[in-house]
Structure 1
Amino acid sequence: MKDQDQNDSNMLANIGRRGFMRRAGVGAGAVAAGSALGTAAAATPASGSKHAAKTRGVDYDVIVLGGGFAGVTAARDSSKNGYKTLLLEARDRLGGRTWTKEFSGHKVEMGGTWIHWTQPFVWAEVQRYKLDVVETPKGRVAPGVEIRILVEGRCEILDKPEQIGPVIGVVNKYFADARRYWERPYDASFRWNELLKGDKLSALNAIQDMSLTPVQRVALEAYAAGLSHGPLDQVSHLEVNRWWALPGGSMTALHDSCGRYTFKEGTISLIRKMVEDGKVEARLSTPVTAVDDKGDHVVVTTAGGQRLTAAAVIVGLPMNVVHRVQFTPALDPLVAEAGRERHAGTGIKLLIRVKGRLSQTHVTALAPPTHPFSFVTTYVMAEDHTILVMFGPDPKRIDYSDTAAVQQALRDFFPDVVVEALDHHSWTDDQYARGTWCNYKPGWFAKYHDRFQKDRGRVVFGQGDHGEGWRGFIDGAIGAGMGAANRVKTKLG
């Protein structure tokens, strides 16, 4: 472990733009799509949708609920499988919890953002459509790395390997059991008994059991809160260990996978390619209120009162909203219960434009999760401004739309900083999301795991919040949509 800590420390001292924790902005969950595509998709059904359904007596072979990456993938694949397919999306755009916008002259992501070749489904799409990627932070960043940690009311600056090393060491120690839990992070059943042993342990429980210096404690709590995007006592310790195990079990691999590469033209660029490739017929601003499996077909009822029939329905809705749809036969009671309880992803992602260049190098600022800014890192560095991205576990800690309040909190790290602009989306208040990326709570594996993503008759579940591997990420959503489309193909022939 000491050798690994030293290797990581040496690496961090020399990689410049690839510095400590700057790529730990989380992915997931989850990421972004623009409204222009949605308007076009709704206005003109694709030519591929005009043919009759293969199944007699229905409007469509397949109706897909939800236009995030899971739903768009399922619709594309179902259409390419030869089925007359309709995608229904409640919003006025596609992309779900991914949303590319313009902010201060830059393309930014309001939701899930980062991708990597350790994420097989999304990277396959990058290769399929020859999409360009760029690195974070954008802009000219000088070699080196700077970490600012707020400890007991003072800001300590760590910019030397001997200062950073102990922080890396404690992070490695925290994740020392990740392989024991997640030897095969794509197969929870492989170490199921080990998972059950740690199932009730929260991320906070695990940190409290460690002997830490004040600096180490703040750094570790901020790091874990950044991954979980919710209160540390509400996220399962198994979940943050899953993040660590998925890319190979090291800090460097995790940072590369969850905070380094983004789509050059935004996550919307992949949504566009999928829609074009599948000639997807999509209806926007069309919430669904009921799904009735009649045995030989399914009836879908929209909020506008329209009744559509299909041979099969694929559900790609977030877990926190699916129970709001009336299913007949009824949704599994435990699946509905989990949705009402909500998963642990309840935080905020805030984009902040500040005047000038805060530093010539990349900066990460860490604070206790009780601070309004527990995890801040450089997103874009321009000549006359810097854009920071902040991940916090509590969207109500302060008024994050208040420039003065944000500036005051940020000055705990940067005393003279001037905030020029802010932007964020309240995913927890969003009626079609009710949360950010999905992390399970303590006790959820034993209680809910075997109930999630279970098909029922002609209703097939393909939600990105469930399944194995990178669930809660763009990658997990694409994989879930692909799997659902394949199962529908098996059902319909």
Structure 2
Amino acid sequence: MVEMQSDGVSRRKFLRNAGVVGATGAVAMAGNAALAAATADKRAATGKFDDCDYDVVVIGGGFAGVTAARDSMKNGYRTLILEARNRLGGRTFSSEFAGHKIELGGTWIHWTQPFVWAEVQRYGLKLKETPEPFAEQAQTVRIIHEGKAIEPTLDDFIAIAKAVKEYFGEAPKLWERPYDAKYTWADLLAVDAMSGADRLNQLKLTPLQRNFLDAYVAGIAHTTSDRASYADVARWWSLPGWNMTAFVDALGRYSFKDGTISLINAMVDEGKPEIRLSTPVTKVVEQGERVLVTTQQGDTIKAAAVIVAVPMNVLPRIAFSPALDPALVEAAKEKHSGSGIKVFMRTKGKLPGDGKRLGVAGSDHPLNLLVTYAKAEDHSIFVGFGADPAKLDIQDRDAVQAVVSTFYPDLEVEECYGYEWTLDPYSQGTYCSYKPNWLGKYYDHFQKDRGRVVFGQGDHGEGWRGFIDGAIGAGGKAAMRTRELLG
């Protein structure tokens, strides 16, 4: 765990302390036991290609990469994961804060997410509910409206529910099959240029309705609503079944009791690929039936196939020969729109009564959603999501306190904790959200294999892309295509 000072630390110092830059750091790599076991069992005799160091090299140790490596090992290929950070997990990051297990990156899962739910069943992993301890209990909701926090009346909630239904009214038509975009491709292209804010402007909304919808669009896309693709936002609504209850449960109720790292460890323990941490890749060169992978340390590794499982925003860090599809490079340099903040806060004292709290504010507010995460006798844990890192330094307790007070003045923030994915050189953003016009411009260029370089990035594909579920699906499919390639 990184020890955070309540008066804040510089963002660059946080990155250094977190062990993102360089080979060592203050964060102990979660899952050391599984990693040690996997690395000790290198299975040198299992390689199918005698003139290669490894049959398969996987670049990136997030859920997509670990899934691809596990499945490649089970397919009989000697497999190596090269991970730039000093830990596995990618944009998931299990940690602890104020005595509670938290996730600095991806967190929640649901049974409507088939790939990750199958893994939960496969390994018998235990879940917990948010807030912890969980009970069906009353919730206080405050919405920032005309500069003040108000508690909506029953009539207000009825009006908000009507607005939500209207906003997503076209979603069943746009995403009749959320795992098959091409099935409704003409309809999707018809709204491809529309942003989340454009859709808001199409509707006759009261300021209160607009603020609520704007907050949830910003929370979905992890960016301001004017930078989010409406088609992409509608996909989120469609995946759990086009209703608010399933939507809320799928995005914020169930998580791993022992952290996302518990699934990473289970996958590594089963597949036992070799793993090299703190090993950024600088070059990938195809040479006939072999691929040469060069690391930042200057080592060159020969493989029969390479699976690329890094976030799309960092692709330009790697030099590919032959060069990648120019459209793919253009998209990576443009960067997807997921670039918000996530901050955990310990507040003083037990929440009054048995309830929980929710704060909601539009894209222009530093925090769009403020949610009760865990409760204890002498403190509470909240988690907040914001669309724009420039509006709040999540390492600054006083700044976080000021924003929290706009929702609930009685909450006293004792300390705060978060990870800034936009500053991490190996993510350069949070989860992937597409921008307006990206479907028509880039969709057909993503996840296209080339020669012996296979793409299995969790940022792309059908269904729950951008989620843990999408990453597992992408990694598994990349391993299958690699098996078809290598025989």
Report the TM-score range of the alignment, normalised by the length of the smaller protein: over 0.9
Cα distance between partner residues in 2 of 1:309 and 1:99: 30
Q: Does 1:139 align with 2:128?
A: no
SS at match of 2:365: coil
- Which residue in 1 is equivalent to 2:446? 452
Paired residues of 1:97 and 1:112 also in contact (CA < 8 A) = yes
Deviations 1:278-323 (A, max 9, x none): 0121000000000001121000000000000000000000000012
Q: Does 1:243 align with 2:245?
A: no
Q: 1:106 aligns with which of 94, 100, 107?
A: 100
Paired residues of 1:315 and 1:462 also in contact (CA < 8 A) = yes
- Write the mapping of 1:50-449 to structure 2, written as runs, cut at 5 A: 50-139=44-133, 141=135, 143-158=137-152, 161-359=154-352, 360-449=354-443
SS at match of 1:138: coil
Cα distance between partner residues in 2 of 1:85 and 1:245: 36
Please state how far the C-alpha of 1:48 moved relative to its aligned partner: 5.0
Which residue identity does 2:139 align to in structure 1? V
Paired residues of 1:39 and 1:92 also in contact (CA < 8 A) = no
Cα distance between partner residues in 1 of 2:426 and 2:271: 24
Scaled by the length of structure 1, the TM-score of the pair is 0.91
Paired residues of 1:42 and 1:284 also in contact (CA < 8 A) = no
Please state how far the C-alpha of 1:52 moved relative to its aligned partner: 4.3
SS at match of 1:253: helix
Identity %: 53
Q: Identify if the C-alpha distance between structure 1 residues 330 and 237 changes in structure 2 by more than 3 Å, giving closer, same or farther.
A: same
- Which residue in 2 is equivalent to 1:30? none
Unaligned runs of 5+ in 1: 1-32
Paired residues of 1:119 and 1:470 also in contact (CA < 8 A) = yes
Cα distance between partner residues in 2 of 1:171 and 1:275: 41
Q: Identify if the C-alpha distance between structure 1 residues 294 and 376 changes in structure 2 by more than 3 Å, giving closer, same or farther.
A: same
Cα distance between partner residues in 2 of 1:52 and 1:398: 51
Which residue identity does 2:418 align to in structure 1? H
Moved more, 392-401 or 197-206: 392-401
Please state how far the C-alpha of 1:164 moved relative to its aligned partner: 1.8
Paired residues of 1:41 and 1:283 also in contact (CA < 8 A) = no
Deviations 1:53-86 (A, max 9, x none): 1013111100000000000000000001110000
Please state how far the C-alpha of 1:368 moved relative to its aligned partner: 2.1
Moved more, 203-212 or 368-377: 368-377
Which residue identity does 1:281 align to in structure 2? E
Deviations 1:343-384 (A, max 9, x none): 010100111111113443121101122111221111111111
Q: Identify if the C-alpha distance between structure 1 residues 319 and 436 changes in structure 2 by more than 3 Å, giving closer, same or farther.
A: same
Moved more, 393-402 or 186-195: 393-402
Runs of 4+ in 1 over 3 A off after TM superposition: 160-163
Please state how far the C-alpha of 1:38 moved relative to its aligned partner: 5.1
Moved more, 444-453 or 147-156: 147-156
Paired residues of 2:92 and 2:106 also in contact (CA < 8 A) = yes
Please state how far the C-alpha of 1:415 moved relative to its aligned partner: 1.5
Cα distance between partner residues in 1 of 2:28 and 2:141: 34
SS at match of 1:313: strand
Cα distance between partner residues in 2 of 1:336 and 1:130: 40
Paired residues of 2:367 and 2:387 also in contact (CA < 8 A) = no
Paired residues of 1:141 and 1:361 also in contact (CA < 8 A) = no
Which residue identity does 2:149 align to in structure 1? C
Which residue identity does 2:226 align to in structure 1? D
Please state how far the C-alpha of 1:36 moved relative to its aligned partner: 3.3
